[in-house]
Amino acid sequence: MTAPNPVDEDIAAYVAEVARHLKARGPARRQALADLEAALRETAAGYAVAHAEDSGTRPEGPPAAAEDPVAAAVASFGSARTYAAELDEELRTERRWRTILGVPNSLAAGVLQRMAATFDPSDPHVVVPHVFGIGWALNMGAVAVRLGLLNPDDLDDELLDEAVDGPGRWARAMAWTAAGALTVAAGASVSGRRRRGLTGRAAWADVPGAVGVAAAAATLAALGADRELPPGQRLVAPAYATLFAGIGVASLTGLRPDGSRSKWSGWWGLPLGTVLWWAATYGPVRAAVDRAVRH
């Protein structure tokens, strides 16, 4: 059996640590990690050549610990957490600030990343690109920091993992409940229309949209338990599921006898959904921080 190469092990360990802290997903993430590994190998080779020239002989075996070119290369890239944060910022800038007439365009892929950006206490930017469409949204994580509700120095991936896997479980339960409530509300809408004599297409008018929103909410709720995703995305996915489903339920209320709805029907869905969204994001994080302080 071939013995493991210490060079490969050290570089792979650093790349894996960066990957653990990196929030970006998709092809950009894979390419960035591949570029990092190539850069580390190139830098280590440069240090090895420089050391060989200084010593007058090219080293045959593993270098001494004090003269290890791989260790020197890894050290030159800084801590894995810092490198990942800087890389995320670079990728975020490239991805987010694609603009149309100066306004951020969020019509491309990366919905989960944009969702996570709306509650990211580690990002000092209060205004971030909209999750869907063109425009801006608030980073409520940065707002919480500015209000003194959270301290970004207290938050890391480990604590966010604890928040998602611990208190975040009730947030996922709430998301599933909201998705189920929307499905029930759609069925009740059909029954209500039939009681008013609105049969045929009118009786099912609300069903396609409601089922689509309920399916999207269920998908987001399920993503909250996907351990392959960064903790920030797992945190916000169920919160958005609850928000969308809550708005959907509200929109099905206020049916008139003729089958129409008033202009302000279901207006309460947005504020209620927003409050639940805040509870499902800030709540688990605050609970995890408090628990860490107690222990």
Q: Which of 172, 275, 262 is nearest to 218 (CA)?
A: 172
Candidates 160, 184, 174; CA nearest to 241 is 174
- Per-residue pLDDT tens digits for 2-51: 444 455 678 888 888 888 888 776 666 778 888 888 888 888 888 777 76
- How high is the pLDDT of residue 174? 94
Helix residue ranges per DSSP H, the chain:
6-21, 27-55, 69-76, 80-96, 111-117, 140-146, 157-165, 168-195, 207-223, 231-251, 269-294
What is the pLDDT at residue 132?
A: 76
Please tell me whether the overall predicted TM-score, pTM, comes out greater than 0.85 for this model: no
- Provide the pLDDT confidence category of residue 155 given band limits of 50, 70 and 90: confident
| Gyration radius from the chain CA atoms | 25
**pLDDT at residue 98, as a whole number:** 55
Q: Does the pLDDT value for residue 1 go beyond 50? A: no
Residue 118: predicted pLDDT: 92
Please say whether the beta carbons of 225 and 172 come within 8 A.
yes
Question: Kindly report the CA angle at 178 between 176 and 179, in degrees rounded to 5?
Answer: 65
Query: How distant, in Å, are the alpha carbons of 22, 230, 249 from that of 26?
Result: 11, 12, 33
Pick the range with the lowest mean pLDDT from 19-23, 178-182, 201-205, 229-233. 201-205
Residues 6+ apart with CB under 8 A from 270: 247, 250
Per-residue pLDDT averaged across 162-189, rounded?
89
Chain segment 76-89, per-residue pLDDT in tens: 888 888 888 888 77
132: tokens are 């869907």
Least confident of 64-68, 144-148, 219-223: 64-68
* Spatial contact of 135 and 274, defined as CB atoms under 8 Å apart: no
113-149 pLDDT tens trace = 888 889 988 888 888 877 877 778 899 999 999 999 9
Listed range (84-88, 112-116, 189-193, 255-259) with the worst mean pLDDT: 255-259
State mean pLDDT over 188-213.
67
